[in-house]
Every structure is written in structure tokens, then in C-alpha cells.
Structure 1
Amino acid sequence: MPGVLERLREDPFAELGRWDDIRIIRVSTNEISGSVDTGKGCSVLGQYNGEDTPPSITVVGSNRPGRPWFTVLHELGHHEQRGDLDWFDSALSRQADGGWELEEQVCEAFAADILLGEDVAAAVLQGRAVDASVVPLLHKATGASRMACCVRVSQLFGDECLVLITDLTGRVYFSASSGDISRPKVGTIQAPNSLPARAASAGSIISSNADLTYATGRIRSGFRAHSVRDGNYVYSIFTTGFAPWSKLDISRPVEWSELDWFCESCQEHSDGYWLKRCPVCHQGKCPNCNACSCGVASEKICSSCHLTWSTARFANGSDVCRDCD
């Protein structure tokens, strides 16, 4: 259809509302309880259902620019892929996981390419090297969601990389990967001495031997990385290849290790101490007995999306979660 790309970029909800072969559903408050898969399914707060007639896309939140636009375009990517039987037979069905990871990567690239095409990115960057500061730069210059900017930077980087967004406590908000670097699960806590955690205080950090913590309790170390803080978020790029921010390119092997911690409360050794963190004291919670420095945990309802989150997901004194700010 002539002009469809431009119309999707201008307002994807308005454009998709004109289509007869797909239905858009927007939900909020308690409507989404148990209905939108945000775990093993999509990396965004949305869901595609090809069994509906016509197929439906459910999106959490309003139709305002930013995260909901990225979400609805991400889910449109599922619709387009699952309607292409040749693509399913030649690529998705041949993957060891049934095509889940590949399909997700294509959806994210699809959404980012619409919102942040080559012309848009080139106009903003004007030839500058790609480092972690480019993510908030694109976000501010275009109004595209942080997630879309994260995916676009992973495409622009030019080498294998992981682009990571964390909050100031080190909790993973979103990530995008190019190459074979595995993505940490959303909500995974990075260790207090990790590059994102240090950048939350220092503002900007460069490392030639940075670590990534995964939800399994494993740590992958040896990355060249750059992290910058912008407001309530920390943006990081981890790479095993060339790092444009490094004057010296000293190669180190990327290795795996395990987290191990001894809890004084229950007297047990545990893996994954930093995978759970108290929202009040921001210290690790023991996976065995749930002990932390203060023993207090609390939750709060966001006044925008009406979802219940840990208080760590809110800026100090704010009633709006960091996903909606």
C-alpha cells in the first residue's frame, strides 16, 4: 500500500485502525492480569493472537508515542511473520527453539526500522561514532521509545554487541543484541560493582573487562563496555569486538562464571544473590531465606499504567513507574 511506512511511522495505532485484517486492543489496570505474556513471550508489554478472527494485537497502555508505539509495531512483526509460510518453513521451523528467539529479533528490528529508519538515525548522528550515549540521544531527538532506540543502536554498532538499559538500581529494563551475545532477562539485577551500577553514580564509565549477570546466576565477563547515565536510566553497550570508545584494544577472552554468596542469616551458600534485591535498601536478598539488610520490601501501583511494581521501579517521590515516565 502506497505510503503505509510513512503512516505507520507517523501514528501506528491510527494506521492499523484502518486495516481490516487485524484488530488492535488496548488494555490497562486489571484487564491485563494473566492475559498478556511478558515472560517467555514478547520482550514488550503486548501480545499477538493469530487465533482470533481477525487476528488481534493487545497493547498495554495508551496510544501515545514511545513505548506503546514500539509495542504495537513489534506485535505487527509477529503478524507479518506468521502470515508468511515460506519464512516459517525456511527459517523459523528450523531453529532449535522453534524460531522463538529469531522471531523476537525480527519483530524488534522491524519496529525499530519503522520508527528509526536509516534516514532518521543518520540525520541525528551526523557521522558520530556509536557508543552508549547514542541511545538517549536518539530517544530525545526523535521521541521514539528507549526500546526502539536500543534496538537501532545494536544495528548501527557495526560489530557483535549487547545494548542494555537498566534503572539506577541495576535492574534490566530492556536489551537488544546483535550476534551471539545472550540477553539478560528483563528484571535481572546487575551486581553492585557492575559497569551499569557504577555509571549510575559516576555518570559515565568505560571498561575493557566488564561483567554481565544473567537470571540463571551465571556471569559472563571480559566484555569491552561503555555505560552512561541519563536521568533515571543507565545505557550500556557490551561488545566482544572493536570498541570505538577505547584507544587501546586489548583482547581478553569472554568467560562464564557463577555467583556464590554466603548468607549470614540462614548460613547457606547460594548462587544468584544479586538476582533479587530489596526495593528499600537495594541490597541483595538471599534466594533461600529472603533476608536482606533491612528485611523490608514494598510495592506500589503506577498511576499511569495501573500495574503493581516494586518501589524500586519508581523515581523518588514519583507515582509513575519508570516504564511510563
Structure 2
Amino acid sequence: MASKLIEECTEFDLDALRDDPVGALTDCEPVKLVFEEDLPSGGCGGGGYYRPDPPTIHLHPAIGRRDNFTVLHELGHHLQQGHPEWAFVLLELPVERRRPIEESVSNHFAAQVLMPITDRDREDASVHPADFMAGFYSRVNASRSATLIRAREILPAGSRWILVVAELDGTVIASSSTYADLPPAKGFRQEGFARVALEALDRPVRQFFSEGLEYRTGSVLDDLYIEAALDVSGQYVFIALRPTSMNGQGTITYPSHECADEGCGEVFVSRQSTGKCDECGSFRCPECHKCACMTTSRPTTVCGQCRTMYSRAEMQTGNHECF
């Protein structure tokens, strides 16, 4: 349905929307764009919503490119509700079915307008996803996380890739998987990603991933191949991992750790620990409950726009992009 909305769209200039979605909808007659500086209770920056009477897109501005996808998503709602046939199809559906379908169509509409895909793009993504994401991000007006999602969508059926956007210190910004192995958690720092990010400063990385992918539980996903490519800003790295094992999945292991307190000396596996210390990154000993820095405190800074916590790298550099 998203493709049909694009084909039949006559009241908006799609090329202008692709180049500058917010600018193209500012002072636009068919639908009004309103910038909401005051966040609703419990809300966060970088979001929006559509009201049909009068047709209005309400935008809570974010930093970076996130607004571009948001306004196009809400425009998708406007076009769906004004379509002479599709609007009646939606009205006949139960609310619990109508909402997810309408949201999905709006997402696809925004993605197809903002990030059009060619046959060459599909071929490039299937061969080297990290290189594709880095190059694709440099020529579209979408955020890094939206670029990752678009890359996942166009990978061939049956592909086994874990896609990641990370900071140069290895902190995960966004991630997704096309198969059963879970992607790394957002905000969780990966030592291996920091290493490949450093190598990617000089050249694209394509190699066996010796460190493995670490989860919050302490388990590690091994037997992975990794690709990494720096984004156009030089501040983030696009990463793609795939399993090298015969069964098409990585291998889960639980590494051993020694208590950081020499007076304790306990040796334990990560799943026995009560968790990692946010400050020093070491697992707490299940015997004495100590970590390397003997504290679990960590200063936090929250973005005033999107209400998300700054990562350690962002606090050091002062650079933050809302996703």
C-alpha cells in the first residue's frame, strides 16, 4: 500500500520531500506542520503525531536527521486517511488490527520516499552490509538507525546478519538481527567493536571476530565474522556480523573471571555474577560482591531533546545525535 500511496500522490512534491522533508512541509497548504516545543507528559523529543481535523502534523523536534523520517511517517497517516479506497478499508478493521497496519504502511511510506532502493543497492547490501550502510547513510537524509533498518529490510531472505551502529568506543547505538542470534543491547559497550572501529579509521574491516559478542547476562556469542565501515562523519561505525559455524548460528559461551579483589581470589563464570559494574565494566564477584572499582555509581547526563542518557563517549566529546 505504501508504494501505491507514492504512485498516486499528486498534492506533494516527492523529490522535495526526499531532499528536505521538514522544509517541504513547512508552510504547506494540504497539511500544516506545527513544531511542539513543550513535550507531552511522559513523552520524549524526536516524535510526532497527526491530527486529521484540520490536517496537522505535530512535531517534537530532535537533533540530527530523525525529524525527516518522523514527518514523512506522519504524512503517511495523512495520505492513508485521505485515500478514497484505503481509508474505508482501515475504518472497517477492528482498532487492534487497524493501528499496527496503518503504522506499518506509514513506516514503509517514509522509508521508500526518504531512502529509495535500487537493484545495485540490494546487491551491495547482500555482499557487504557494513560498507553498504556507511555509503547509503552518506547519500540519504535519514538517521543512522533508520539506515540500519532499511538495510535489514533489503537483505535477501534467509540472510544471517547482525547489524549494528556503534560509537567509536564500542557503545551500541542501534542493532537488529535477521535470524535467531540476538543483537547486542543498545547502550552496551562491546570491547571488540572498539577495536574494529579503530581499524576502520584506516580501512574497511573484514575479519574473524575474535572477541565475540557480549550480552548483559555475561554470555558471549562466538564463531562470528565481522565487517565494519566508518560513517561519513567519522564519529560512528557501521558493523555487520554473521556466523561462521556449520549450523548457521554463533556459539554461546560463558567466560571465566577472577575477582578483582586479590584478597578474595574467587574464580567464577559470568552467569554467576550479579551483573556488570557500569563504571568499570567488570563483573561483580558472587562471593564478595566487589567489582574492579568497588562501586556501582556512575554520573549520568540526559539529553534535553530526546530524554535519553548520554553514553560515556558522548559525555567525553560533547557530541550527541538523537535517534
TM-score class normalised by the smaller sequence: 0.5 to 0.7
Give the corresponding residue for 1:12. Answer: 21
Give the corresponding residue for 1:34. Answer: 42
Distance 2:180 2:259 in 1: 34
Greater displacement, 141-150 / 125-134: 125-134
Distance 1:214 1:92 in 2: 37
Unaligned runs of 5+ in 1: 38-44, 241-248
Give the corresponding residue for 1:226. Answer: 227
Distance 1:88 1:191 in 2: 46
Kindly provide the amino acid, as one letter, of the partner of residue 134 in structure 2.
P
Distance 1:160 1:208 in 2: 15
Kindly provide the amino acid, as one letter, of the partner of residue 235 in structure 2.
N
**Given that residues 19 and 141 in structure 2 are in contact (C-alpha distance below 8 angstroms), is that contact kept between their aligned partners in structure 1?**
no
**Given that residues 259 and 271 in structure 1 are in contact (C-alpha distance below 8 angstroms), is that contact kept between their aligned partners in structure 2?**
no
Distance 2:260 2:121 in 1: 55
1:73 aligns with 2:58: no
**Given that residues 161 and 179 in structure 1 are in contact (C-alpha distance below 8 angstroms), is that contact kept between their aligned partners in structure 2?**
yes
Give the corresponding residue for 1:321. Answer: 320
**1:174-204: per-residue Cα shift (whole Å, max 9, x none)?**
23454666554432x1442x4x233123322
Kindly provide the amino acid, as one letter, of the partner of residue 61 in structure 2.
V
Deviation, 1:150, is 1.8
Q: Which has the larger radius of gyration?
A: 2
Give the corresponding residue for 2:173. Answer: 173
What is the TM-score when the length of structure 2 is the normalising length? 0.63
Give the corresponding residue for 1:202. Answer: 199
Matches for 1:207-286 after TM superposition, within 5 Å: 207=208, 211-214=212-215, 219-230=220-231, 231-239=234-242, 251-255=246-250, 257=252, 264=260, 269-270=272-273, 272-273=275-276, 277-278=278-279, 283-284=281-282, 286=284
Kindly provide the amino acid, as one letter, of the partner of residue 68 in structure 2.
W
**Given that residues 206 and 227 in structure 1 are in contact (C-alpha distance below 8 angstroms), is that contact kept between their aligned partners in structure 2?**
no
Deviation, 1:208, is 6.8
Identity across matched positions, percent? 22
Distance 1:163 1:91 in 2: 35
Kindly provide the amino acid, as one letter, of the partner of residue 69 in structure 1.
N
**Given that residues 228 and 235 in structure 1 are in contact (C-alpha distance below 8 angstroms), is that contact kept between their aligned partners in structure 2?**
yes
Distance 1:183 1:173 in 2: 12
Greater displacement, 83-92 / 288-297: 83-92
Distance 1:310 1:49 in 2: 29
Distance 1:105 1:306 in 2: 23
Give the corresponding residue for 2:149. Answer: 151
Secondary structure in 2 aligned to 1:133? helix
> Structure 1's 175 and 161: CA in aligned 2 closer, same or farther, altered over 3 A?
same
Deviation, 1:165, is 0.2
**1:77-98: per-residue Cα shift (whole Å, max 9, x none)?**
577779867579889957xxx9
**1:101-137: per-residue Cα shift (whole Å, max 9, x none)?**
x887766544332222125x84899899433122222
Deviation, 1:19, is 6.2
Distance 2:37 2:283 in 1: 33
Distance 1:80 1:284 in 2: 51
Distance 1:185 1:49 in 2: 31
Deviation, 1:173, is 0.9
Give the corresponding residue for 2:129. Answer: 131
Kindly provide the amino acid, as one letter, of the partner of residue 110 in structure 2.
A
Deviation, 1:285, is 6.6
Kindly provide the amino acid, as one letter, of the partner of residue 129 in structure 2.
D
